[in-house]
């Protein structure tokens, strides 16, 4: 029995020594890795000292530089400098540039020993989102929209139709840094507008100069046309939901085509010398239209 106890005690001591040696080995490895990385990260050639910014036209390089410099200052947990090319906060730098400078659409960053290369891709103005007015005026305040409907800058005053203009919409939260509508819905609304203009050109009906699109908050839209001192409109609806698809656009197009080609519409158009006030395509299969100095008519 005494022999068995001695064997057991010896076995326990052996296991404890092995555990101690293993623990010591792990601690030494961690300490070695820590010391090595600390040494490498502090090497002068691996710290970002020069920042080169390209691709920016409307955003100042000095402003971008200051934003990056701030994100690279300081240390992680008081140990590792953030300006090391190995561990700099790339995502933070990228997101802060895009957040602070709405002109910036994408940011690409590459690093070399001691150098950071920042390539900026700016947004391109595609449309305008203007203050509450359906008439083009230099007094209107307008904002640039990119091809996805994102508002990113105040636009200078324009005369004429250099850009397609949007009016109305949900202004809660202001204009800047948000979407007028989802990119998909914007695409469908623009598609409707282009098809309507094509139908009008084919029918040779003169509704005047395209004046933009008025956006309501319930899924309704007015295509505006300015002729002399009057504004004509063609109203339709498209809704912000997953079922919105090109078929909805085709339905709107076909209803307008049938109306423009109907003999009743053409007769009134001729008798009023083209004095159309509106065409309303929002009510299912029914289409309503009205001419100036006339009564509203229904086309089934």
Which candidate, 166, 157, 158, places its Cα nearest to that of 190?
Answer: 166
pLDDT, one tens digit per residue, over 75-84 is 877 677 888 8
Whole-angstrom Cα distance, residue 280 to residue 285?
11
Is the model's pTM score more than 0.95?
no
User: Using H for helix, E for strand and C for coil, what is the string for 86-117?
Assistant: CCCCHHHHHHHHHHHCCCEEEEEEEEECCEEE
pLDDT, one tens digit per residue, over 148-204 is 999 999 998 776 678 999 998 887 778 899 999 999 999 999 999 999 999 988 877
Task: Give the list of residues 6+ apart from residue 89 with CB closer than 8 angstroms, or none.
Answer: 71, 72, 82
pLDDT, one tens digit per residue, over 213-226 is 999 988 899 999 98
Q: Which residue has the tokens 């397609």?
A: 164
Q: What is the mean pLDDT of the chain?
A: 83
pLDDT, one tens digit per residue, over 101-132 is 999 999 999 999 999 999 999 999 999 998 86
* Confidence at residue 79, expressed as pLDDT on a 0 to 100 scale: 74
């Amino acid at each position: 029995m005494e022999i068995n106890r001695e064997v057991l005690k010896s076995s326990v001591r052996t296991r404890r020594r092995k555990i101690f040696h293993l623990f010591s080995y792990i601690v030494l490895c961690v300490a070695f890795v820590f010391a090595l990385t600390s040494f490498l990260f502090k090497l002068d050639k691996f710290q970002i000292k020069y920042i080169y910014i390209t691709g920016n036209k409307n955003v100042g390089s000095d402003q971008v530089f200051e934003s990056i410099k701030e994100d690279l200052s300081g240390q992680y947990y008081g140990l590792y400098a953030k300006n090391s090319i190995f561990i700099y906060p790339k995502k933070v730098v990228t997101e802060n540039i895009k957040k602070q400078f709405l002109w910036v659409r994408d940011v690409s960053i590459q690093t070399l020993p001691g150098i950071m290369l920042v390539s900026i891709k700016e947004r391109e103005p595609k449309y305008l989102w203007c203050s509450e007015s359906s008439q083009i005026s230099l007094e209107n305040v307008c904002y640039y929209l990119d091809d996805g409907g994102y508002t990113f800058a105040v636009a200078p005053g324009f005369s004429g139709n250099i850009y397609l203009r949007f009016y109305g919409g949900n202004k809660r939260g202001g204009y800047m840094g948000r979407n007028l509508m989802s990119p998909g819905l914007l695409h469908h609304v623009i598609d409707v507008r282009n098809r309507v203009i094509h139908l009008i050109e084919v029918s040779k009906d003169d509704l005047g100069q395209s004046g933009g699109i008025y956006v309501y908050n319930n899924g309704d839209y007015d295509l505006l046309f300015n002729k002399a001192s009057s504004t004509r409109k063609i109203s339709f609806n498209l809704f912000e939901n997953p079922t919105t698809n090109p078929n909805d656009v085709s339905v709107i197009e076909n209803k307008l085509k049938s109306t423009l080609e109907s003999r009743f519409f053409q007769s009134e158009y001729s008798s009023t010398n083209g004095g159309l006030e509106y065409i309303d395509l929002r009510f299912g299969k029914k289409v309503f239209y009205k001419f100036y100095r006339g009564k509203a008519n229904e086309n089934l």
